[in-house]
Structure 1
């Protein structure tokens, strides 16, 4: 055994396995021990199967010993998000309707991660059908924040973020519609990337042209995230909207600099949403840090007025198309907030949906100009409008005394960016007075995912000083 621990970087863990300084079985034992310590309280990993995991680790060791070629994630323990189908593995989507569901094929993201050599150990917990940014469901219960278990881990990739931060897994996959990679990353103090549209292809899909939701990577640092993105990214003939860059274009090492960058920083996009005072203070404190590192920082933001109507319209349309029949057949099987969102889609007209897509096009064009020649390189804003809230709440009911009318209101800082199609990453940047993590959201032009990783790495370096 080397001096490796579960808190070592994923890159170091993978390299140690390849050099045979640690076996996949030994690495699995380390992670299973941490899971045994922390998961009973946190409930991040579900459908854990130690026997199959040990079989997978033994097979990984045998493959390495045979001299066969191995993938970049060879021997790393991995738990897939419970909305991603894993062939032969219980996959519930957080819904009692699918409590015993076992898929017969892998999703494309699962296929790629498995091919890269991981040892599958289980799934990570999600809210029902990944709806909402607080992870709880009637199948597995509540996932708690690893920093303060009295608080939310965020969602919908809340189990993934919690498991990462607690050292139960070295990397995690997720998906993001309204902030489902970014919000839990901010709440748990890890790094989560919503990639550019088409960067991480998805298959199968009931609607290849519905692109508010994307799959993406999560890790404890930008370099590890780049490692996973290099596996997830790249074209596939089954995904017609996939971007053509190979995954290898995102592989580590990732080294960046803030010198000379043109940065726009906004706490609330010009008053577009309410932001908790402590979160606002952390985001504002980024300005002198970035400037000291050589960036030119302006108080500026794009105008995203249409983002609210665009996101809510297209989300309701998508939810109704996806879950409408099941809601009619099983009206009591859906949590009320999700059922209401599905029903909201029933009242939409063709003109409403057309307006949503037209506005989304306008938002995309506006961001292209914002990041274009003579414009900015990076937009900085909050990931989440609040720090981790009490775990016994479904969602924050107010911010700075201002009521939040729905379970989506407090997520505008994330979903306003969703409908632009731009890549956005959450990077740990500060803490509240109570020690709760606060992430900084960095946004770049569509397609500039590698550049965004480099900026994130540079911000990490400044935070570490």
Structure 2
């Protein structure tokens, strides 16, 4: 567990610690922002994790934050603390580029709901995190902003689509990052870079955002949100510690009924001493785990048992396998109408990745699944949600791998159709959760061959506090891993 160290450089301190220190006037927001900007200048040229960094704007916001502290008024829980936002999320005055040049010409006129929540909590928005084009890869490379590197190993993905967020956190550029997740895009990057990522229950954090447009040869084209994105995608935080991830989640929780799935409810802390029952699910019988993955799960299970949790192993959980298969149906069929736009304005990487991914999905569902098959997929999804909630109840969590492999080699999804299919099979823990809408958190538990290896905790719907408590128990008993990062 990370201990408070006031003597550390501000960029090295946690968001929880910094917010408290700023409130007590031990350090100013300007000092914190300058420290993070210096760290960005030192590390970002190599990693390409953050883009559209505006020091003058951030420092002006920090000065206002310090004036508010001096005035003695009420301060938000992240007052004066730097955070980053993702290039696919609207932030007023910044382009929501999605890593695509055709989308980079229109500065957003307003904020997405989750960005508004961060502002209202007093956060200083410091840079935009990189992502793949259209946020549809587990790699964070695009033709507009370039390739984001993993600070642990440049040959391995930092994850995607929130890879800029995870890389910047691991490097110390900010203590908290905003991300979003429909197929592991918060949880997987966090795991690749050895930080914490939580995907909340659908509706817990508002997904509302102003309408998006693409400049196409035929003129501006509004991009409507398909049903799977509405039902499965979430906004959420990544952070260097579980405590910071919890703080950021509480801040981002917004009772915003503009979101079709929004709920007017905030997380409720559990009574002290309550321990979740933990069921370990190592696989679904479709792919063999890398030894480092099995070792990470074993170590995490042992730490949970040490913390007083009742831990049991389950040989298989077929409903997770079925959920992962349904994800490959619903996600790709909802994205199919966007393929002409991707071919018009996307880069070679996203075109190739989608071609191979659609091929892998076709091996499961056929080349062009029928409308009846698609409707049956939605119907079956509802049945699986009920079954998983019945299994978890109010006191059980699942402990699973994040992926059957450690962090993928860069561009593995476009290496060959065969390799792309292997990736989709290996990522069953990331795919099964979003299609069912449950909350999940990934937390580091091991180090193997110089790479962090994490585990995933899945809870019942709206059980974010339960899985965060379990993640905290793992973090408390796991040595802190720091990447071998240098400025060169």
TM-score by length of 1: 0.89
CA distance in 1, matches of 2:124, 2:373: 45
Deviation of 1:407 after TM superposition, in Å, equals 5.1
Is 1:189 the equivalent of 2:194? yes
Report if the CA contact (8 A) 1:302-1:370 is conserved.
Answer: no
CA distance in 2, matches of 1:246, 1:286: 28
Report if the CA contact (8 A) 1:310-1:356 is conserved.
Answer: yes
Structure number with greater CO (CA < 8 Å, separation at least 6) is 2
Is 1:157 the equivalent of 2:154? no
CA distance in 2, matches of 1:31, 1:235: 31
Deviation of 1:455 after TM superposition, in Å, equals 1.4
Is 1:298 the equivalent of 2:317? no
Counterpart selection for 2:298 from 240, 261, 284: 284
Q: Please show how residues 87-102 of structure 1 align to structure 2 within 5 Å.
A: 87-102=92-107
Counterpart selection for 2:439 from 398, 418, 423: 423
Is 1:217 the equivalent of 2:237? yes
Closer/same/farther in 2, CA of residues 461 and 97 from structure 1, 3 Å limit? same
Is 1:147 the equivalent of 2:166? no
The one-character-per-residue Cα deviations of 1:94-153 (angstroms, maximum 9, x if unpaired) are 122223331111111111111211222220000111111111111111111112233211
User: If each structure's helix is expressed as a fraction of its own residues, which one has the higher value?
Assistant: 2
Deviation of 1:340 after TM superposition, in Å, equals 6.1
Q: Please show how residues 48-67 of structure 1 align to structure 2 within 5 Å.
A: 48-67=53-72
Question: 1:461: which partner in 2?
Answer: 476
Report if the CA contact (8 A) 2:159-2:188 is conserved.
Answer: yes
Question: 1:3: which partner in 2?
Answer: 7
Question: 1:390: which partner in 2?
Answer: 409
Deviation of 1:443 after TM superposition, in Å, equals 0.8
Deviation of 1:290 after TM superposition, in Å, equals 2.6
Question: 1:171: which partner in 2?
Answer: 176
TM-score by length of 2: 0.85
The one-character-per-residue Cα deviations of 1:77-105 (angstroms, maximum 9, x if unpaired) are 12201110111013211122223331111
Report if the CA contact (8 A) 2:133-2:346 is conserved.
Answer: no
Q: Please show how residues 366-385 of structure 1 align to structure 2 within 5 Å.
A: 366-372=387-393, 377-385=396-404
CA distance in 1, matches of 2:439, 2:346: 36
Segments of 5+ residues of structure 1 without an aligned counterpart are none
2:45 alignment partner, SS class: helix
The one-character-per-residue Cα deviations of 1:212-244 (angstroms, maximum 9, x if unpaired) are 211111111111111101111131131242223
Task: Give the aligned length.
Answer: 452
Report if the CA contact (8 A) 2:352-2:414 is conserved.
Answer: no
Report if the CA contact (8 A) 2:412-2:420 is conserved.
Answer: no
Counterpart selection for 1:123 from 112, 118, 128: 128
1:274 alignment partner, SS class: coil
The one-character-per-residue Cα deviations of 1:371-393 (angstroms, maximum 9, x if unpaired) are 138xx711111012211233354
Question: 2:217: which partner in 1?
Answer: none
2:335 alignment partner, SS class: helix
CA distance in 1, matches of 2:122, 2:186: 23
Report if the CA contact (8 A) 1:186-1:384 is conserved.
Answer: no
Is 1:243 the equivalent of 2:263? yes
Deviation of 1:308 after TM superposition, in Å, equals 3.2
Deviation of 1:255 after TM superposition, in Å, equals 9.2
Report if the CA contact (8 A) 1:265-1:299 is conserved.
Answer: yes
CA distance in 2, matches of 1:341, 1:70: 47
Report if the CA contact (8 A) 1:302-1:367 is conserved.
Answer: no
The one-character-per-residue Cα deviations of 1:374-424 (angstroms, maximum 9, x if unpaired) are xx71111101221123335446879xxx95526533321211222222111
CA distance in 1, matches of 2:419, 2:98: 30
2:400 alignment partner, SS class: strand
Question: 2:85: which partner in 1?
Answer: 80
2:293 alignment partner, SS class: helix
1:211 alignment partner, SS class: helix
Counterpart selection for 2:324 from 308, 324, 347: 308
Report if the CA contact (8 A) 1:94-1:126 is conserved.
Answer: yes
